[in-house]
Each structure stands twice: as C-alpha cells, then as structure tokens.
Chain A
Amino acid sequence: MTMKTVALAATILAAATGAAHAEWPTDRPIEMIVAFAPGGGTDIMLRTLAPFLEEELDTQFPVLNRPGASGEITYTALSQARPDGYTVSSLNTPGFLTMRIDRKLRFDPTEICPIARIVEDPGTFVVQAGSEFQSLADVVAYAKENPGAVSVATTGRGTDEHLAMIQLEQAAGVKLTAVPFAGANEAKTALLGGHVTMIGLNAGEYSTADHDAFRALAQFSEERSLLLPDLPTAGEQGFDVIMSSERGLAARCDVPEEIRAQLAAAVDTALASPEFQERARQQALPLAFKSGADWQADMPSRLERYTEIFKLIDAGQ
C-alpha cells in the first residue's frame, strides 16, 4: 500500500466515523439490499416502495441486489453492516426460517429483526383449465387410489410449493410426487404440455397468468388474498395447509429501537398512500402490512412447523 492510499483510507475512515455521529436518516443514503435478482417479486416490491420511503424520510434509498443462496448472501451482508440504520435488507419467509433447519449458516438469524412485512403472497395449486380436478378433494381422492401418481411441479426442495405439498400429504394422508423445476415459467410449460398434474404458483403469479389455460384449486393463506377473492382456501376445503411467501424489510436487531420504529412508521405510511396502492395493484403485489414486532412474534411457531415438515422430507428420502 502506498502512502497515498493509506492517506485516502484514513480520510474515508474519518468521514465514516464522523457520519456515524450525525443525525439519522438524512446524513447519507440508506442502502437497501435485495436478496433476489432485479425483476423478481421482492425486487419489484422494494423498488416500487423506495421512492415513497425517500419522500417520507427525506433521504435516499439506493437498491443493491445481492442475490444468491436463497437470501443467505444478503443476510450475511446485513449482519456484517454497521448497526447505524443506514443498511436495511429484504426479508423473505419461509426462506429466512427454513435455511437454518438443514444447513449451517454464515450469519446468526437472531441478529436480524424484521422492520415490517409488506406483502403476503399465498401459495396456490394450479391445474390445467380443462382438468378433471375441481377441488383439492378431487386430487386427494385420486391420489388415494393411485399413490405417487399425482406429480406436483415445485421450484426445488424446501420451497413454498414443496412445503405446501408435504402439508397436503400429511393433512390428507396421501402420497404425491414432487418434481423440481428451475422456475415458475418452466413449471407452467410442463403443466400445459400435460407432463405434470399440478403446479405450485404464488397468488401474484397466478393472478397474472392466462386463466384460459390454468385454473387454481386452492390458496394456502388463512384468509383469502386480495388478489384472489373468489378462490377458496385449503382450510375452507377441509385441509390444514398454510403456506405464504411473506416479504418485508429487516435491519440488524442492535440498530437503535427509535430508528427501527421510524422506518416501520414510514413503511406503514407509504402503504397507506393511494398512489402506492395503485402501483402495487398494477404489479399484482398482495399488500399486507404487519409491524416488525407482530411479524417476529409469528416466527417461532412457523419455524417449529417447518422443522416438522423438513423432518418429514428427510424421512421420505
């Protein structure tokens, strides 16, 4: 290292230390790390939200995508950031909860606290529009007679669709076959060609799909999603299957409480604005604000449930 770079590093360091003492949040931009690639559901959600937060807090929210390892890269980066409230990240369940079940993580999940949930996107099971199956009960009856013959396209092990399928197997006492695909588009093509019986899609994905070709059988939320008010939940059909993608914002837990509260309030205000709601509707975002504390309170029981499901997956192999 030359003298020049040493000097430069010292200047940067001094500036950074100085910044830490200044007033949050207007001192410098708040970095928003997104755990998925640009154009995905999480990315679109946060990029739509960012300008509203910027207006609310009178600062800037540059979005930085750090995709990979279903979010672990982003959570690791977040847990290594300074706890000054200038770094926030996306938070997605069930991924955030399930990743700790079967692998050793490079960050401590208890150090990451949710700020607010923004979207709850329930899972659905979808068949071809012309399929003989009209409800989950039809599928279950068929699977009882033909164990393993009903194939369900998922997007990999431990994903929403896979976890929903295992819950259905358990709730109905049947045997289904999970077939992993690289993404929702591939799964849709396989369903159109009749190569699988059923595919798992999020409500957001299903609501924008071609309804002449696809038909959903059930949604896996506790209450019907805003996006699909006419589709019965699995609970209404007598099967205990709960599976939603929940997406929101998180920060380190040791970020001062008042900063986290201010962030959460800003998200709440943004979500209430009609302008934001209109944008969310265009992008099929099923808005469902929940405060960070409430969301966090949900997590232990969910984690317990997923841990049980993973045990079932491992037992099945």
Chain B
Amino acid sequence: MNVFDLLMLGFSEALTPTNLGFCLLGALLGTLIGVLPGIGPTATIAVLLPITFFLPPLAGIIMLAGIYYGAQYGGSTTAVLVNLPGEASAVVTTLDGYQMAQQGRAGAALAVAALGSFFAGTVATFAIAIAGPMLSRFALSFGPAEYVSLMVFGLLAATILASGPVLKAIGMILIGLLLGMVGTDAETGSERLTMGALELFDGIDFIVIAIGVFGFAEIITNLERSGSEGVKLAPLTRLWPTRDDFRRSWKAVLRGTGVGTFLGLLPGGGATLASFSAYSLEKKVSKTPRAFGTGVVEGVAAPEAANNAAAQSSFIPLLTLGIPSNNMMAMMLSAFMIHGITPGPTVLTTQPEIFWGLVASMWIGNALLVVINLPMIGLWVKLLTVPYRLLYPAILLFCCIGVYSMNNRIFDVMLAAGFGLLGYAFRKAKCEPGPLLLGFVLGPLLEANLRRTLLIEQGDPAIFVERPISLVMLLATVVLLALMILPSFRKTREEAFQEEES
C-alpha cells in the first residue's frame, strides 16, 4: 500500500462515529484545560490515562492526543485575553498577544493564533505521515546497542533543554533513574528497592508517579493562591485579521512551523521550548526587533504555530522508535502499553490502522479546533470565572479513581499521594519534574538494552563504536557534553530560559 492508500485507511478509521466522537471530546477537553490556567495537559492526561483502559485502543489514544494539541489552542485564548498563559507553551504569546488585545485587536490575535496553529498542525501531520514509515524502516536496524546510545543522548539532551539549572535537571533525572530501578530484576529475579512490599514487585506504576508529581502537586500549588483573583478581560472585537496582519504573519507562521516541527523531534523538546525558540527567531530576523512586546502580530503567529507543530511532531520518535521525547510522550507511551501495543516499527506493519488512524485524527482534530476556538470563544472565556475551589475536588476525585482502578488497590493511591507531596517539594525547590519522569521511563529501557547488548555480544562492549548509528549517537553525546561545559553556551542557555520565565 502506498502513502495515499494508508492515509485513506487512516481517515476511514478516524471518521468512524466512535473515533470522531473521542477526537472531538479530546479537542474540547484540551481547549477547556488550555483555557483554565493551573490545569495542564500533562496532569489531565495523567488523570485520564487509566480511564482509556475501558476504551478501544485507538479511541483512547486519539482522545489523549487531542487533549495535548487542543491545549495548545486553548492556552493562547487566555494568554491573549487575560495575560495569563493557560499553558506553559503559551507564555510567550502573552508578550504580544495581550498587547494586541489592549489595542483592541484581540480578535485578530486569536484568529492569527488559531489559523497559524491549524496550518502548523497540517504541516506537522504530513511530516508524521511521510517521516513515520521512512523512519520505521530505519528503526528495525535499531538493535539494543543503538538504543543504549540513543538513550544516553536523550537523557543528556533532556537536561539541556529543561528549564532551570543543569545541575537540578541532572539531579531530577537521577531520582527518576532510581525510581525506575524499583522492582524485580528481569535477569536474576532478585528484588530491588522493594522494601519487601509485594505491591512493588513489578516496580512503581508510571501513572502513580505522573498523577502524584503532576496532578496532586499541581492542585496543592494552585491552592496556595487564593481562588478569587479578579480576572480582567480584554474586550473582544472584530475577529477577522486585516490584510496587513495576514501579509505580516504568513512568513512568521512558516518559520514557526519549521522550528516547531524540528524541535518536537528532539529528545526533551516539545511545545514549550518550540514556542519560545520561534519567538526568539522571529525577533532575530525582524527588521524592527524593538517593536516586539508592543503587540506585533508576528510575535503571536510564530510561537503559536511552533507550539502546535512541536506538539504533533514529537509523536514521530514515539511512533517509530517507541522512544518518548518528553513527559507528554511518556504519557502517550503508557497509553499504548495499557492496550498491549508497544509503539515501534512493528505497529506500523501489523496494526497500520492505529498509526494512520491517529495521524488522520490529528488533522481532523486540528480542523475541529479552529471551529471550537474561533466562533465559540465567548463561551471559553466565561469559564475563566469558575472559581478553583469548585474545580479541584472534582480533579482530586478523578485522580484517585484513576490510580485505584489500575490495579484495584489502595496502596497505589497512597503511593501517589506520597509522590504528590514530593512533587510539591520539587516545585518549592524549583526543580522541574519533567526530567524525573523521563529518567523514570528511559532508565529501565537503558538498563535493559545495555544488558541485552552485553549478553548478545557475550560481554564485549566494542559493538557500541562498531555500529555506525550507535557511534554517531555517542559522538553527538560527547559534543553535547562539551557544549554544556563550555562557558559561552551555558550563558546563552541561561539567558534563554530567563527570558522565557519573565
């Protein structure tokens, strides 16, 4: 079958009433949590993950993916209208978006954001459709040795791309690796760090950690703020951008799409990094860099296109190699695993309807999101007036049900609560939990593949430099390490993240 036939197969899967319904549901939920500041897609997906258990595999995955890219649309609404980023990836959108709204051009900003996102989403969807099968053929040549080198590279890259000091990021990865050790050793059968608890024999469940450090910890953090902050809404006016807006933004959208698609592929990359990088790039190529921050349309178009492109292209390494590049993709990985599907090259050949159905649903979802977001914008804005004290008990309840229903045991709920406190402590210490989650997911894979390599080679480590793909990865790792130590690079990185936080 050629790509066209496969895409048709994908559309026929994605357009079944069930899958279309879950795509719409995901897009709606994504917009909802994108609009509401304080509930992110990571926490939402962590909560919903156990529920997808009871859905057909494709429907569940379509819904979760919809939440992720839907949140990119919803996040911009709040950023433009209230100067609050609904999502971390919409932080830079506030800079020019809110200024535009102050000048009475909120409608234009929102329309540019939505249309730019739609364009970027379309391009990234096609990127997945084209790159997926190509990469997956290549992926079969990925043996245990290649995976080891790839994961060493991925873990290091994650520390560079995480915000905050490198040392903290490395610390979080190490904690993640340690947590990943818990359980029974596959080769010798001995218990590791289980403290004799039967419930820990198979290790800690991903969902327990995810709901703890993202779900519970986020709720605790939000409860610190008083729930009755007045929300100042910018007036919403004419929705359609001017001809001048279009003329100025299309190039920015193109560049943002390019940056986003590329950064989404990298380990540790994702929507937040992409939107920020696209904004910096726009500022660099602009003839009037000083105008940024005063309400220029490019400052909205580029990051919004970039975050959506990255949200989608980060599916590529997951779907072809089975390697999650960021914590969102780690969630998606476990969504696949719940249904006994190991993402990777075999899925493309044995279950093409899963891969192509997902790809097609992404495009459909993006189209739905434009409709959901533009005409219905007034509705979403009203949601901002719902006080948090009414929201959080419901979220808390869903978290607990979700964790309990995985293995039907209360032990997991208590464990998640413990991780909630830990996650809160991390937030207080300004340690980002993303690298922890990545270390937790990649650590056991790294260990298992390292041992497999050495078993197959009967103890000879030379294979890591004999196999070309592995050698390239290792060289890239060395270069990355050298860059990290180089003072000039460190300075740029720190500046970059300071700008993002401001």
Q: A residues within 8 Å of B by Cβ?
A: 37-40, 64-70, 72-73, 76, 102-103, 106, 148-149, 151, 156-158, 177-183, 185-186, 188-190, 192-196, 210, 317
Q: Which residues of B contact A194 (CB under 8 A)?
A: 143
Closest residue of chain B to A195 (Cβ to Cβ) is: B143
Partner of A69, one of B142, B202, B345, B452: B202
Known interface pairs A66-B407, A185-B342, A188-B346; A177-B455 also in contact (CB < 8 Å): yes
Say yes or no: B140 contacts A189, CB within 8 Å. yes
Segment at the interface with A among B183-191, B308-316, B353-361: B183-191
Say yes or no: B407 contacts A192, CB within 8 Å. no
Mostly, the A contact residues are loop
Cβ-based interface call for B408 (8 A): yes
Say yes or no: B186 contacts A180, CB within 8 Å. yes
Say yes or no: B346 contacts A102, CB within 8 Å. no
Say yes or no: A69 contacts B144, CB within 8 Å. no
A259→B407 CA distance, assembly (Å): 28
A189→B201 CA distance, assembly (Å): 26
Q: Which residues of A contact B452 (CB under 8 A)?
A: 179-181, 190
Q: Which residues of B contact A38 (CB under 8 A)?
A: 53
A65→B188 CA distance, assembly (Å): 27
Mostly, the B contact residues are loop
Say yes or no: A189 contacts B345, CB within 8 Å. yes
Cβ-based interface call for B9 (8 A): no
Q: Which residues of A contact B187 (CB under 8 A)?
A: 156-157, 180
Cβ-based interface call for B350 (8 A): yes
Closest residue of chain B to A159 (Cβ to Cβ) is: B186
Closest residue of chain B to A66 (Cβ to Cβ) is: B408
Q: B residues within 8 Å of A by Cβ?
A: 53, 140-144, 184-189, 191, 198-199, 201-202, 338-342, 344-346, 349-350, 407-409, 448, 451-452, 455-456, 458
A120→B202 CA distance, assembly (Å): 25
Say yes or no: B346 contacts A317, CB within 8 Å. no
Say yes or no: A317 contacts B455, CB within 8 Å. no
Q: Which residues of B contact A65 (CB under 8 A)?
A: 407-408
Known interface pairs A177-B456, A181-B452; A190-B143 also in contact (CB < 8 Å): yes
Say yes or no: B198 contacts A39, CB within 8 Å. no
Partner of A179, one of B184, B339, B408, B455: B455
Q: Which residues of A contact B456 (CB under 8 A)?
A: 151, 177, 179, 195-196
Say yes or no: B342 contacts A106, CB within 8 Å. no
Extra contacts besides A67-B407, A106-B198, A189-B346 (16): CB < 8 Å: A39-B340, A66-B407, A67-B202, A69-B201, A70-B201, A73-B407, A73-B409, A156-B186, A156-B187, A179-B452, A180-B186, A181-B452, A185-B346, A186-B342, A188-B346, A195-B456
Say yes or no: B199 contacts A183, CB within 8 Å. no
A66→B350 CA distance, assembly (Å): 29
A158→B185 CA distance, assembly (Å): 12
A179→B409 CA distance, assembly (Å): 32
Known interface pairs A38-B53, A157-B188, A192-B345; A68-B202 also in contact (CB < 8 Å): yes
A157→B185 CA distance, assembly (Å): 9
List 8 interface pairs A-B (beta carbons < 8 Å), by A numbering: A39-B338, A65-B407, A106-B198, A156-B187, A180-B187, A182-B448, A185-B342, A185-B344
Q: Which residues of A contact B144 (CB under 8 A)?
A: 190, 195
CB distance from B456 to the nearest CB of A (A): 5
Q: Which residues of A contact B53 (CB under 8 A)?
A: 38
Q: Which residues of B contact A177 (CB under 8 A)?
A: 455-456, 458
**Most chain B beta-carbon contacts within 10 A, residue among A66, A73, A106, A177:** A73
A70→B186 CA distance, assembly (Å): 12
Q: Which residues of B contact A76 (CB under 8 A)?
A: 198
Say yes or no: B189 contacts A158, CB within 8 Å. yes
Closest residue of chain B to A104 (Cβ to Cβ) is: B196
Partner of A317, one of B186, B188, B201, B344: B188
Partner of B189, one of A40, A102, A188, A195: A102
Q: Which residues of A contact B201 (CB under 8 A)?
A: 68-70, 72-73
Say yes or no: A68 contacts B143, CB within 8 Å. no
Say yes or no: B342 contacts A180, CB within 8 Å. no
